[in-house]
Amino acid sequence: MEELVVIKVGGNIIDNEEALKSFLTSFSAINKHKILIHGGGKIATEISKGLGIEAQMVDGRRITDAETLKIVTMVYGGLINKNIVASLQSKKCNAIGLTGADGGVVLANKRPIKNGIDYGFVGDIKEVKSSVLTTLINAGFTPIIAPLSVDENGSLLNTNADTMASEIACAMSKQYKVSLVYCFELQGVLRDFEDKNSVINEINPDTYSQLKGEGIISKGMIPKLDNAFDAINKGVNAVVIAHADNLLAIINEQKKLGTVLKK
Q: Are strands 259-261 and 238-243 parallel, antiparallel or unpaired?
A: antiparallel
Options 7-15, 76-84, 108-116, 244-252: segment touching its own copies (CB under 8 A): 76-84
Question: Is residue 77 near its own copies by the rule CB under 8 A?
Answer: yes
Cβ neighbours of residue 148 closer than 8 Å, sequence gap 6 or more: 72, 73, 76, 77, 99, 100, 101, 106, 123, 156, 157, 158, 159
Residue count, binding to its own copies (CB under 8 A) = 44
Q: Is 135 in the site for its own copies (CB under 8 A)?
A: yes
- Work out which of 10, 39, 41, 97 binds its own copies, going by CB under 8 A: 97
With CA atoms as reference, report the closest residue to 134 among 84, 176, 71: 176
CA 11 to chain centre: 9
CB of 91 to its own copies, least distance (A): 7
Which residue lies nearer to its own copies by CB, 11 or 258?
A: 11
Q: Is 90 in the site for its own copies (CB under 8 A)?
A: yes
Phi, psi of 97 (to 5 degrees): -90, 135
Distances (CA, A) of 244 to 7, 112, 118, 218, 240: 10, 35, 34, 21, 11
Q: Which is nearer to its own copies, 90 or 209 (CB)?
A: 90
| Ranges within 144-203 binding its own copies (CB under 8 A) | 148, 150, 152-156
Interface residue with its own copies among 26, 64, 68, 73 (CB under 8 A) is 73
Contact positions vs its own copies (CB under 8 A): 47, 50-52, 70, 73-79, 81-83, 85-91, 94-99, 101-104, 135-136, 139-141, 148, 150, 152-156
